[in-house]
Amino acid sequence: MSKTKETILRRPVAIAAVTELPPGRYPEHDSLGMYRLAIRAFLEEWKPSPDDIGGLMAPPAGITLGNAETLTHEKLHDELGLRPHYAETINTGGSTYSVMVQRAALAISAGLVDSVLCLGAGKFPAASAGGSESVAKNVSHPEFEFPYGPAIYAMYAFAATNHMAMYGTTSEQLARVAVSARAWAMKHPQALMAKKGEITVDDVLNSRPITSPFKMFDCSVPCEGGGAVLVSTAEVARKFTPNPAYLLGMGEYHTHGYISQAPDLTTMGSETSGALAFRMAGLEPADIDVVELYDAFTINPIILLEDLKFCKKGEGGAFVQAGCTDPGGELPMNTYGGLLSYGHGGDASGLSLIVEGARQTMGVAGERQVAGAERVLVHCYGGVMGEHATLILGRNP
């Protein structure tokens, strides 16, 4: 049952338009080159005028390659020919784009601008080129973690083994997350793993071991990509679409910078950011029709489903195992295939969730469109599950 809204926005804010590059490898383009591709795709699809874009936000180009551009927004607004009233280069890891949407909404609400273009593009070094090690260096403590040789998958395995020990979560339940993601990816023509076909729990369990308890199919698929999200007033949004994705609620919470400092490995900041978003929207978990949850590894959606109160603590694995998140399930999850099967676009990975959440809300998701998807929750996190940002999108303001 809906509750009284506690919105902090002075006027309705919506996602007006979204564009995304197909996930894959773009060897002929460097990080800024990927941004140029994303800009071109957005301009070709939506044909905005300069007056339609009042602000610009982007993460630093080249983070995962170790050569980050600290003033990416300056380079991009020059290339776009814009002179924005609001512009920023911002980075909170995988939660960057959810945080961007929130910052843009606040700027629009305050009357600084009527619209903000949130751009993203990312390279992701292949594992054979030391990709995991370079990413691990960015997010591990330089004194207490990195000297001991951490890898990203091992850091997330801490959360998985803790959840398994505390709540009895099984490897089969983890595998079921990957199976559900692949079933959705089969409905998306651009999903990287769609051509690989459906998978079973046994396929996941028998895939190559990575680190206990993860097998290869428990891990997201590294790739490259990018895109754009235009956040605006309702008036600007209706210039682009008759059905904008209105921002109903949002919340943000940061718990730790390094995994060794996490206060709890089985409950993350999503519990707090989600509660803030629900309170702002005046909604409860039962009011949500679709969820898009950052799934770098199969343990993450299980924890997020619990923390966001879609099921009780310790029951996330059984919830997914029962088919609740599958096509036709009671709570469709990661309807584009997620990072596990659509692709993990490096610095741009969180963008895909927002693009899909907006498309579902707008009713333009094609074969994978969930009937009656009027309210969609998107949750992204950054670092090693330390930086959390939740959005609730709706068809009506």
pLDDT in tens, 345-365: 988 989 999 999 999 999 999
Lookup result for tokens 């959810």: 98
Q: Cα separations (Å) of 116 from 28, 56, 212?
A: 29, 5, 43
Residue 197 resides in a domain:
no
Amino acid at 5: K
Residue 184 resides in a domain:
no
Calculate the CA dihedral of residues 340, 346, 350, 356 and round it to 10 degrees.
Answer: -60
Whether the CB-CB separation of 107 and 363 falls below 8 Å is answered with: no
**Number of separate domains in the chain:** 1
The stretches of the chain forming alpha helices (DSSP H) are 31-46, 72-80, 96-109, 131-139, 152-167, 171-185, 201-205, 234-240, 270-281, 299-307, 316-321, 338-341, 349-362
pTM of the model: 0.95
Q: CA-CA distance, 393 to 127, in Å (whole number)?
A: 35
Q: Domain of 52: which CATH number?
A: 3.40.47.10
3 band by pLDDT with thresholds 50, 70 and 90: confident
Whether the CB-CB separation of 192 and 21 falls below 8 Å is answered with: no
pLDDT tens digits along 23-82: 999 999 988 899 999 999 999 999 999 899 999 999 988 666 666 677 888 888 888 888
Residue 262 resides in a domain:
yes
Tell me what the pLDDT averaged over the chain comes to.
93
Whether the CB-CB separation of 39 and 228 falls below 8 Å is answered with: yes
126-130: which pairs have CB atoms within 8 A and are 24 or more residues apart? 126/222, 127/222
341: domain range?
A: 13-126+221-394
- Paired with 227 in beta bridges are 20, 120
Write down the pLDDT at residue 82.
87
Residue 245 pLDDT exceeds 50 = yes
Lookup result for tokens 């907006």: 358
Instruction: Return the SS3 of 20.
Output: strand
Q: What's the burial of 234, exposed, middle or buried (CB within 10 Å: 0-12/13-18/19+)?
A: middle
Q: What's the burial of 195, exposed, middle or buried (CB within 10 Å: 0-12/13-18/19+)?
A: exposed
Structure-token pair, residue 78: 């020059």
Residue 189 resides in a domain:
no
Residue 218: which of 273, 171, 178, 189 has the closest Cα?
178
Residue 8: which of 230, 246, 251, 237 has the closest Cα?
251
Kind and range of the H or E run holding 377: strand 375-382
Q: Cα separations (Å) of 111 from 14, 17, 171?
A: 14, 20, 50
Whether the CB-CB separation of 298 and 340 falls below 8 Å is answered with: yes
Residue 202 resides in a domain:
no
Residue 118: which of 363, 386, 334, 354 has the closest Cα?
354
Write down the pLDDT at residue 264.
92
pLDDT tens digits along 17-26: 999 999 999 9
pLDDT cut 70: percent of the chain above it: 95
Residue 47 resides in a domain:
yes
Whether the CB-CB separation of 180 and 334 falls below 8 Å is answered with: yes
Write down the pLDDT at residue 129.
45
Residue 134 resides in a domain:
no
How far apart, in Å, do the first and last CA atoms of the chain sit?
A: 17
Q: What's the burial of 317, exposed, middle or buried (CB within 10 Å: 0-12/13-18/19+)?
A: buried
Residue 198 resides in a domain:
no
Write down the pLDDT at residue 122.
87
Structure-token pair, residue 372: 């009656």
Residue 243: which of 55, 393, 38 has the closest Cα?
393
pLDDT tens digits along 107-165: 999 999 999 999 999 887 655 444 556 667 778 888 888 888 888 899 999 999 999 99
Write down the pLDDT at residue 216.
98
Instruction: Return the SS3 of 222.
Output: strand
Write down the pLDDT at residue 130.
46
